[in-house]
Amino acid sequence: MPYSRSVKVGILKKVLPPERRNIASVSNETGISEQTIRNWIKEANSGSLDDKAGEKSPRHLNGSEKYQLLMELKKIW
């Protein structure tokens, strides 16, 4: 399942400065693999994560997409 940009950014805020939490603990907490988080760190460092192409505003999501987004966010919190 592809994760939304907002989910990626939320995870990155936990593992990058200033929080600098352990990747393994964030992985266990969220259910997102350590390698996936490492890949997102590489994307953030290369600047490719900044590209918002294809991102939809929540008001443009259908019911199923909104539900999926809520389930992704539930995993984080």
Distance, CA of 20 to CA of 15 (rounded, Å): 5
- Return the closest-CA partner of residue 13 out of 46, 39, 31, 37: 37
Range of the domain at 67: 5-76
Given this model, what pLDDT does residue 16 score? Answer: 93
Given this model, what pLDDT does residue 5 score? Answer: 86
**pTM value?**
0.66
Question: Tell me: the pLDDT tens digits for 6-23?
Answer: 889 999 999 999 999 999
Domain count, the chain: 1
Cβ atoms within 10 A of the Cβ of 15, count? 21
Given this model, what pLDDT does residue 59 score? Answer: 67
Low-confidence residues in the chain, pLDDT < 50: none
